């Protein structure tokens, strides 16, 4: 595989989205995450920092002037501490709106993702099983999910009381054993279950 234009484009896009190198490598296929990282660096990407990188060459120049040998390096002025953040102009508090530009990771690693049991009809055994398992949940956040962690959502997404199961997922499955049990039910077992 080689870095064709559109592959590079995908790389740039995903890297910009905060995707991990391994995720990008998987998406592209035929390359390892090392290759991706290497390319990212060669492209000069990598620095997510909008930091324009200070004086590229503060060289005072001046014709004829040979360097006096050692540059004194005046030690950068004190970094603004938590003191006096207000420059001078006062913004109406109403439209304060500071934006956290470093948007990162919109979609986790996995694929489809969350079902959520809702008010389903599931076998009592399986229900009991998940309740038990959810006590052992690793309570991972969205960003912490990987291909081998159970992506079963637990709790209310609208509250702080929300996390993902995170237990080891079944090989090739998005969920752990217990959650696979309730997520993938044979049609046969779903038939006429009255409440």
Distance (Å, whole) CA 195 – CA 186:
19
Q: Considering only residues 2, 94, 95, 111, which one is a binding residue for DNA as defined by CB under 7 A?
A: 2
DSSP string, 117-136: --S----HHHHHHHHHHHHH
Site string for DNA, 120-139 (x = CB under 7 A): --------------------
Stretch that binds DNA, among 51-59, 121-129, 146-154, 158-166 (CB under 7 A): 146-154
Q: Where are the alpha helices (DSSP H) in the chain?
A: 5-16, 21-28, 33-42, 124-136, 177-183, 187-190
Least distance (Å) between residue 6 CB and DNA: 13
3 is a contact residue toward DNA (CB under 7 A): yes
Q: What angle do CA 85, 90, 96 make, to 5 degrees?
A: 85
Window 55-114: residues binding DNA (CB under 7 A): 109
Least distance (Å) between residue 163 CB and DNA: 17
Crossing angle for the helix pair 33-42 and 21-28, nearest 10 degrees?
Answer: 110
Per CB under 7 A, residues contacting DNA are 1-3, 19-23, 31-35, 37-42, 46, 109, 146-148
């Amino acid at each position: 595989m080689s870095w064709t234009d559109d592959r590079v484009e995908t790389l740039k896009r995903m890297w910009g989205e905060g995707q991990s190198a391994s995720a990008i490598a998987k998406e592209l296929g035929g390359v390892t995450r090392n290759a991706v990282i290497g390319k990212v660096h060669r492209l000069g990407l990598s620095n997510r920092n909008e930091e324009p990188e200070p004086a590229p060459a503060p060289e005072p120049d001046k014709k004829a002037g040979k360097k006096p040998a050692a540059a004194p390096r005046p030690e950068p002025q004190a970094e603004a501490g938590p003191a006096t953040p207000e420059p001078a102009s006062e913004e109406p508090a109403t439209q304060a709106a500071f934006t956290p530009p470093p948007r990162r990771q919109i979609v986790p690693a996995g694929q489809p993702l969350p079902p959520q049991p809702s008010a389903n009809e599931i076998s009592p055994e399986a229900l009991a099983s998940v309740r038990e398992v959810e006590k052992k949940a690793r309570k991972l956040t969205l960003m912490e999910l990987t291909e081998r962690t159970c992506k079963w959502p637990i709790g209310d997404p609208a509250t702080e009381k929300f996390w993902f199961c995170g237990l080891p997922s079944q090989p090739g499955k998005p969920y752990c054993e217990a959650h696979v049990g309730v997520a993938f039910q044979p049609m046969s077992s779903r038939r006429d279950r009255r409440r």
